[in-house]
Amino acid sequence: MNLISSSSKIKAAVACAVALLSASAAAQESAYADLNSCVQSEQMKSTAKGAAVGALTGLGASFLGGMKKKDAIKATALGAVAGGGIGFVKAYYEATDTCYKKNPSWVPASNITRSATLAQAKKDAKYKPAQGIVTGIVKIDMPETVKSGTASISMNTVFNVLTPDDAETQVEIVRKVYIIEEGKEEIMPFTAGSPSETKTFEPAQHTDKVNYELTSNFKPGMKLRYEIEMKTATTPVVTATKTVSII
């Protein structure tokens, strides 16, 4: 194997993958220029690494398979794109997560509002004091489908917090996002605020409002599944989930 020639092929394939990423990253919209710059930088780093691995895989397969030079170059390039691959959706959210960890002040604050009175919440839940502390998820307001290219989606969770003496109580909230493609599901970083937090609530009905940014690399046929968990120190975990399809 000509190592110099192989190295040149890998560099060219990686450059191709990074160029594709650059074009995609340029289309991302961010409310903060510094965050946008950070995300693009981190995204390119991670995708270049993935592209290099993919290029090596494609190159190795091409030579082991005895391909001709022209076909070997093609296989190497395809390997780079595949390696950078899932690439483009995952890299975006991981890059955003990395930037938030480096700059905690950039993490969006949670937006939880009271959406119904205590009396109404008790009535709707048919609550009785003998039940003790109750945390119940009523619903997730979230579209079932969105068009490819949609900038963001609302994922709003309506929930009740009820106590026998109408006292405040602490609730732990955990938020998760999964990406589904061709039946394969993979968890992604939650980048629309804190993935988990504990807050003190007055007994009533509340709404956890989430606006989740969608990378432009989401393609028709892909899905995003949102899952939210809640619990108190004395109650079990309650969970709700909803999925949106990209069309």
Do 37 and 78 reside in the same domain of the chain? yes
Calculate the alpha carbon distances from 42 to 20, 52, 90, 94, 104 in Å: 15, 16, 12, 8, 16
Distance in angstroms (rounded) separating the CA atoms of residues 62 and 238: 51
Do 39 and 144 reside in the same domain of the chain? no
Task: Look up tokens 């619903």; give the residue.
Answer: 139
Cβ-proximal residues to 214 (8 Å cutoff; 6+ apart), any chain: 146, 150, 151, 152, 153, 224
Q: What angle do CA 35, 199, 177 make, to 5 degrees?
A: 50
Residue type, 127: Y
pLDDT (0 to 100) of residue 164 = 97
Distance in angstroms (rounded) separating the CA atoms of residues 104 and 83: 30
Give the CATH number, domain containing residue 237.
2.60.40.3880
pLDDT (0 to 100) of residue 71 = 54
Domain boundary among 105, 139, 160: 105
Domain boundary among 73, 105, 137: 105
Do 88 and 165 reside in the same domain of the chain? no
Do 100 and 116 reside in the same domain of the chain? no
Do 116 and 167 reside in the same domain of the chain? yes
Do 36 and 94 reside in the same domain of the chain? yes
Do 178 and 85 reside in the same domain of the chain? no
Domain boundary among 105, 127, 149: 105
Do 48 and 142 reside in the same domain of the chain? no
pTM beyond cutoff 0.75: no
Q: What is the mean pLDDT of each run of 10 residues along the chain (247 residues)?
A: 53 51 46 80 71 52 53 46 58 93 92 95 96 97 96 97 97 97 92 96 97 92 96 96 97
Do 91 and 10 reside in the same domain of the chain? yes
Specify the pairing of strand 169-181 against strand 196-201: antiparallel
Q: Say how many domains are in the chain.
A: 2
* Other beta carbons less than 10 A from residue 87's beta carbon: 23
Which residues span the domain enclosing 84?
3-105
Distance in angstroms (rounded) separating the CA atoms of residues 57 and 160: 51
Do 69 and 132 reside in the same domain of the chain? no
Do 114 and 176 reside in the same domain of the chain? yes
pLDDT (0 to 100) of residue 45 = 77
Do 152 and 58 reside in the same domain of the chain? no
